[in-house]
Amino acid sequence: MRIHYLFLSFIVLLSSFLSAQDQVAILKGKVKDDITDEYMSNVHVLNLSSVKGAITDSNGDFEIEVKTKDTLYFSYLGFKPLKVTVGNDMITLGIPIFRMTGLSFALEEVIVRPYQLTGYLDIDVQKVPLNPANRYNIPGLPQSGYEAGNRNRSSISKAIGALFNPADFLYNLFGKNPKQMSKLKQMREDDAIKSLLAIKFDREVLVQLLGVERVNIEEILRNCNYSNTFIKEANDLQILEAISGCYEEYKILQL
């Protein structure tokens, strides 16, 4: 009888523990500069698990929805990103302070090599490299347009091949990560995430949120016929919009 009672008690405690892990809570925290010990404003705090974001105020304070074992990602220009796993103590015991460490950047020498012009227009115009890439616009963004790859015979053949056999073209890019790619819509709807991506160019936040490698992001864009210029120069928000557009086209092809 005693063993039966102990077993029931264990089941109750286990159920309570599991339900507590699944319960959403509001985490209140602060962010400090680890060197100066000053509070940091405008730090982006992302919940990689739920795809939610927050930004610290002038006192370094932030609030964000979390569950136990969620992963928080702290990002600020010039500082090393910080990744933290949420624990029960972090939620229940006071207001945790997260510390970020600054990075030192060394500027590399830039050598500008101008074109060697002769002064004769007919000759000089032939020396200027032409980029035959077409232009396109990303919906919802104010820029006038971006290069989107060459419309040569090989790219056309690749696109036609995708229509007749989409699995070979896109399955390895999207089909193996359906849960991660489903986060695209959430990322586009969160203002804190969008504001961070708009000033980032390193793809690091996209890598963390989507759970893919940077090389995979570049592969997705190339296979969706975006130019190398766009892949290298676009900010992370523009890259997000481009990947989202590719994914929508992929889902249509799968119907």
Residues 159, 67 share a domain? no
Residues 248, 151 share a domain? yes
How confident is the model at residue 216, as a pLDDT? 87
How do the pLDDT tens digits run along the chain, 255 residues long?
555 554 455 454 444 444 445 789 999 999 999 999 999 999 999 999 999 999 999 999 999 999 999 999 999 999 999 999 999 999 998 899 999 999 875 444 555 555 565 666 556 556 555 544 454 444 444 444 445 444 444 444 444 454 444 445 567 778 777 778 889 999 999 999 999 999 999 999 999 999 888 998 998 898 888 999 999 999 999 999 999 998 888 888 776
Strands 97-100 and 25-33: parallel
Check which CATH number belongs to the domain holding 92 and give it: 2.60.40.1120
What does the alpha-carbon distance between residue 252 and residue 193 come to, in Å, rounded to a whole number?
Answer: 26
Among residues 91, 124, 157, the one where a domain terminates is: 124
How confident is the model at residue 21, as a pLDDT? 52
> How many structural domains does the chain have?
2
Among residues 77, 95, 124, the one where a domain terminates is: 124
Residues 207, 223 share a domain? yes
Residues 244, 207 share a domain? yes
Residues 176, 68 share a domain? no
Residues 160, 63 share a domain? no
Tell whether 5 is covered by a domain. Answer: no
Residues 188, 108 share a domain? no
How confident is the model at residue 51, as a pLDDT? 95
Q: Which domain holds residue 34?
A: 23-124
Tell whether 61 is covered by a domain. Answer: yes
